[in-house]
Structure formats: structure tokens, C-alpha cells
Amino acid sequence: MNDALCVDAGAVTDALSLEEQERVRAVLVTHSHMDHVASLPFLVENVFGRTSAPLEILAPDDVLDALRTHLFNDALWPDFSRIQGQAGPSVTFRAVPVGAPFSADGLTATAVKVSHVVPTYGYVLADERAAVVFSGDTGPTDAIWSAARRTPNLRALFVECSFPSDMQPIADISCHLTPKTLHAEMAKFPKDVPIYLYHMKPPALDRLAAEIAAIGDSRLVVLADGDDLAF
């Protein structure tokens, strides 16, 4: 919806050129697990001194607490909120409300708690033309799909689907979806909205793709690196 806001930063520095990284002004974090924040320290470092305003990291309080305690703590990585850039701190941390809209670099966002092993949030993102929903990492849940059904101008759902169904016990313990539980969750989704699937574990990608195809729902699209979507 714009090129200035990222949802999570697991591999953003691998996916974007330096010039594209400089255009990122805010990162909306779903939760603190490494596959969602691994490249966030490198994004901060790569744009240091190259932008006129700090990079803003947004999340509910419990997610920011984990990032500041365990990542930007001067032990694993410098606390760039204390390091001056061209116009003050290089990074700012903004705690956002849960369940109420807030501004996120030109978009309106709403954080919705989902079901995962650490505090985790999905997001509804909207501008004046369209809205999309990101599930975040989650097992079966309800509030995010209820929010999606109430969202005007909804153009897409981005939904995790991590493990094949023969790994259901692992998915259940780790609070992730499989094609089996995804199919059940789809009864809660808004109708006639494309469903873009992400967060698939690479060793199981072929099995996941086959299971998803077997569901036989044309709304389901498996995302691939480099996909460029417009809403």
C-alpha cells in the first residue's frame, strides 16, 4: 500500500536494495521471534546517517519490551534509540494500542491479539482506498477474523500456514496453522477476499503447496519471494 511501512523485518535487508531500505520509515512488528525481526538490526544500521528522520519501530508494549530487553540491549545489538543520527535518535520505539486504530506512516492500523506462544498481534491496515489484514503467527483464533469481517474495502488476507497437516502436533504446540486448521479457519474469513499464504517452512513447501491445492479454493494463493501486489 506504500513503500515506507514494513510489517515485520525477518529478511527485509535481503529483499530490498539499499535505496529501497532508505525509503522504509516504519516497521510494524507482530512479535519478537527471530524470523520476524532478524534483519531489523541490519536495517537500522544500513539506513543510519542516510535519512533525515529516525526509523520508527511500532508494536504493542509487550512486543517492544521484548525487543528492547533481548535485542536492542547493547549486548546483542546497540540500542540505536540512544545513538544520534542526523536529526536525533536513529530509532524510535512507539507503543501502539491494541484494538484501537492508530496512524502508521500514512496508513491507519489496528493491532489485534492472535494465538501464539509469545505475545503476538495481527494487523488491519487501511488507507482511503483499500484495507488488508495480516494474521501474524497464529494457531486457530477468532478476534482477527472478526475484525476482518467488519473491515470496509477489504482487499486481501495475509495468513500464515507453517506446517503440513502430518505435522499437526508440532503446529498445535507452537501455535501455527496447517492446511487442515487453515481450512477450518476459513469458515470465519470474509467471503470473496483473496487469501495470500505465507510463513511456510521451506523443507515442507512442496507438501504444503499440494495440500493447499487439494483444498480447491481459488481464493488461496501461495506467496513466493519477489511477489509484488498492489491494492
Predicted structure pTM score: 0.95
- 151 and 190 fall within a common domain: yes
The H or E element spanning position 172 is helix 168-174
Give DSSP secondary structure letters for 184-226: HHGGGSPTT--EEEE---GGGHHHHHHHHHHH--TTEEE--TT
| Whether residues 120 and 159 fall in one domain | yes
Among 47-51, 59-63, 74-78, 148-152, whose mean pLDDT is lowest?
Answer: 47-51
94 has which bridge partners?
58
- Same structural domain, 138 and 104: yes
The domain of 54 spans: 1-95
* 65 lies in the same domain as 129: no
Tens digits of per-residue pLDDT, 70-127? Answer: 999 999 999 998 888 666 788 999 999 999 999 998 899 999 999 999 999 999 999 9
The CATH number of whichever domain residue 209 belongs to comes to 3.60.15.10
What total of structural domains would you count in the chain? 2
Residue 38 and residue 137 share a domain = no
- Name the residue with cell 526509523: 55
Is residue 206 domain-shared with residue 180, that is, in the same domain?
yes
Question: How do residues 80-92 score in pLDDT, each as one tens digit?
Answer: 988 886 667 889 9
From residue 138, how far is each of 88, 93, 101, 118, 148 by CA, in Å? 36, 24, 21, 10, 15
**pLDDT for 178-189, tens place per residue?**
999 999 999 999
Together in a domain, 113 and 48: no
Q: In terms of domains, do 156 and 54 share one? A: no
